Amino acid sequence: MTISHDKRQTKRRTLGLLSAAAAGVIASGITNFAQAQAQKTLRIGFQKYGTLTILKGRGTLEKRLAGHGIDVKWTEFPAGPVLLEGLNVGSIDFGTVGEAPPIFAQAAGANLVYVASEPPAPLAEAILVPKASTIKAVAELKGKRVALNKGSNVHYLLVRALEKAGLKYTDIQTIFLAPADARAAFERGSVDAWVIWDPFLAAAEKQIGARILADGTGLVSNRQFFLAARPYAEKNPGIIKILIEELDKVDAWSSKNLKEVVAILSAQIGLEPAVVDLAAQRNSYGVTPISQAVIDEQQKIADTFADLKLIPKKISVKSALLTIKQ
């Protein structure tokens, strides 16, 4: 089923600021790959929210890498799956996404590596229904139209929520839409529910009174992962190490300075402070190495997607790990 984009409803929406011309970015990245390497440029993909966005706003990474003769280029992507597509084709070297995107990317043959993760943030993603919806429980989604970004972190939340409610994944009609298009479809009633993450989640709650049917509590961890293109990581372990150190520093600072975090994110995203504050309160802070427990969690998600035929084959998450020597 295809739902058209209603330009009149989404024109000038601040959520539109969260989108990017991803296809053009990827194409230009392929063309300029050799040039970027020659200029010693670290190319980072981000989604205008989260730790990377705060790092970008503070400018501390640029200062640290300047001493090594390395520039930083930031490229915005609308969601994790297309960010990892950019990573795979060589338009960026490093980025951050949720749990599901690297699994879909690895199953498609992407040459990526996990380098670090953040703590769980289960409240930062949810299944939404319109304010006036009569749907009160996930079980009532049977036969309904549910919008989500295919292969994004919320894909696993939907699977788990349906399972807990006694429904099969095939009991609903999945409508795959990017966040801005999903918001438009959600508002005009073309879908019955929307599975989405912050800050889109917070924006829908604050701006249109969308109601949370279920969040990730007790269902998913909803971790953020930092990933790199394997060729870049293997050739530049020192740069990856610096990146993780700076991310850890900015996360430690963020956890103690939420007011400043809100100001930085609000300015970059274009969303009002009240929306960003709600999202920031649900975020997690702290960068850690990929532990065996995290590997096991990711493997369980990967196996679930393979069993549901959402990815073409089973994968080994462990094979996509990178160990940086200290």
141 and 111 belong to one structural domain: no
200 and 245 belong to one structural domain: no
Domain carrying residue 22 = 18-121+223-320
Backbone angles phi, psi at 4, to 5 degrees: -75, 155
Residues 227 and 98: beta-carbon distance below 8 Å: no
Residue 51 lies in a domain: yes
* Burial group, residue 167, by CB count within 10 angstroms (0-12, 13-18, 19+): middle
H or E element at residue 264? helix 258-269
Dihedral, 300, 301, 304, 306 alpha carbons, nearest 10: -110
80 and 155 belong to one structural domain: no
Neighbours of 147 (CB within 10 A): 26
114 and 239 belong to one structural domain: yes
287 token code pair? 């960068």
Residues 220 and 157: beta-carbon distance below 8 Å: yes
Per-residue pLDDT tens listing for the chain (326 residues): 434 434 334 333 333 433 333 344 444 444 444 444 444 899 999 987 889 999 999 999 999 999 899 999 999 998 888 999 999 999 999 999 999 999 999 999 999 999 999 999 999 999 999 999 999 999 999 999 999 999 989 999 999 999 999 999 999 999 999 999 999 999 999 999 999 999 999 999 999 999 999 999 999 999 999 999 999 999 999 999 999 999 999 999 999 999 999 998 998 888 899 999 999 999 998 999 999 999 999 999 999 999 999 999 999 999 999 765 54
169 and 207 belong to one structural domain: yes
Q: Which of 215, 247, 274 is the last residue of a domain?
A: 215
90 and 133 belong to one structural domain: no
CATH number of the domain bearing residue 235: 3.40.190.10
Three-state DSSP state, 115: strand
Q: Which of 162, 193, 215 is the last residue of a domain?
A: 215
89 and 136 belong to one structural domain: no
pTM for this entry: 0.82
Number of folded domains that form the chain: 2
Residue 202 lies in a domain: yes
Residue 325 lies in a domain: no
Q: Which of 215, 249, 276 is the last residue of a domain?
A: 215
115 and 126 belong to one structural domain: no
